[in-house]
Amino acid sequence: MTTPSASLPSLAENLAAAGTAVIPVHPDSVGAPRVSIPVPNGWREVDRGVFPGAYGVWALPPEESLGWADNAVLLVGRLSAPVDAAGLLRSAFVDSRRMPQWREVSTDTGDYQGFPSATITGYYTVETLTLWADNRYVVVGAGGDQYLVQLTVTARAGEEGSETALITAGLTIATSVPTDSGEMP
């Protein structure tokens, strides 16, 4: 990316300016892509009532002394109007770069599983807690609609490793819609 993110709008600002809404979908939404991640041992699915707009949230048990739990948040939303995926993804790094004391480790704008994508990884600090975060955004076409998939994995600095790598590398997106019998065509 050659454009400094300070001059770009965030993804949400970009979509709002275009008048495009993101309508949350869930695993049981008909016609939406099927999205999954591998869940490491010890991680638990968080009740959907806690994050009703999320496709799914998983976390380690919280560390009470820190008030923190390493977590993975998966959001999938149908876009209310078509967007230029490349143009939208130019804004993908803005929110991360706005985090307090953001230190960037890597970015990638290559396709993911054949779909336009952007990923940013780095560290930020909130009060006394330094966190590692990996954010992947993917624009998926399915059934004549476009969907925005976002996977954010956040862990305490120094705790990122094999479990977080398993999650970030294991994001799977399937656009085939099951038949009435539940089988994939």
3-state secondary structure (DSSP) of residue 98: coil
Residue 110, classed as helix, strand or coil, is coil
Residue 180 has pLDDT above 70, yes or no: no
- At 164-176, the pLDDT tens digits run 999 999 999 999 6
Give the start-end residues of each E strand in 80-144.
Answer: 103-108, 117-126, 129-142
- Counts for the chain of helices (H) and strands (E), in that order: 4, 10
Residue 140's SS3 state is strand
Distance in angstroms (rounded) separating the CA atoms of residues 11 and 95: 8
Q: Name the pLDDT band for 2 (thresholds 50, 70, 90).
A: very low
Q: Dihedrals φ, ψ of 24, to 5°?
A: -60, 140
pLDDT given at position 177: 57
pTM: predicted TM-score of the whole model, two decimal places: 0.90
CATH number, span 5-174? 3.40.1000.10
Please tell me the distance from the alpha carbon of residue 59 to that of residue 45, in angstroms, as a whole number. 7
pLDDT value at residue 66: 83
Q: What rounded mean pLDDT belongs to the chain?
A: 90
> Contact at 8 Å (CB) between 170 and 159?
no
Mean of the pLDDT values across residues 109-128?
96
pLDDT tier for residue 183 given thresholds of 50, 70 and 90: very low
- Between 64 and 146, the more confident residue is 146
Check pLDDT > 90 for residue 41: yes
